[in-house]
Amino acid sequence: MDVLERIDEQVKGNPVVIYMKGTPQFPQCGFSMRAAKALQECEVPFAYVNVLQDPEIFENLPRYADWPTFPQIYVAGELIGGCDITLELHANGELRGMMERAARAAP
């Protein structure tokens, strides 16, 4: 399977997914740590992909949605952004609702 097809399958197959450096339990960069923490505080399950363990995804994810940096957070198949946007959505209370709606709509 082509790497972009693999990414597409992950994005569309999970209500919420974060592509990050490290894992939510052991993040490998500050931006990934803060974004994962915001997702965890919403108390809605989410998937993650450690881009440091998959060089193909690390190299090609920026092409998938034309977003050059990590982390990248997808909700209901759509890129919502990176760390700053995720933190802003969390601070104003929108992130939890977005995640809850995506989780309810998932098959």
Residue 105 falls inside a structural domain: no
State the pLDDT at residue 106: 82
Which range marks the domain in which residue 90 is found?
A: 3-99
The CATH number for 52's domain is 3.40.30.10
Mean pLDDT of the chain: 96
Burial (CB count <10 Å: 0-12, 13-18, 19+), residue 55: exposed
Residue 10 falls inside a structural domain: yes
Domain count, the chain: 1
Binding residues for [2Fe-2S] cluster: 29
Q: What is the pLDDT of residues 70-102, one digit of tens each?
A: 999 999 999 999 999 999 999 999 999 999 999
Residue 35 has pLDDT above 90, yes or no: yes
Q: What is the pLDDT of residues 53-78, one digit of tens each?
A: 999 999 999 999 999 999 999 999 99
State the pLDDT at residue 1: 75
Neighbours of 59 (CB within 10 A): 11
Residue 107 falls inside a structural domain: no
Binding residues: 29
Counting residues of the chain whose pLDDT is more than 70, the rounded percentage is 100
Burial (CB count <10 Å: 0-12, 13-18, 19+), residue 104: exposed
Burial (CB count <10 Å: 0-12, 13-18, 19+), residue 68: exposed
Q: What is the pLDDT of residues 13-29, one digit of tens each?
A: 999 999 999 999 999 99
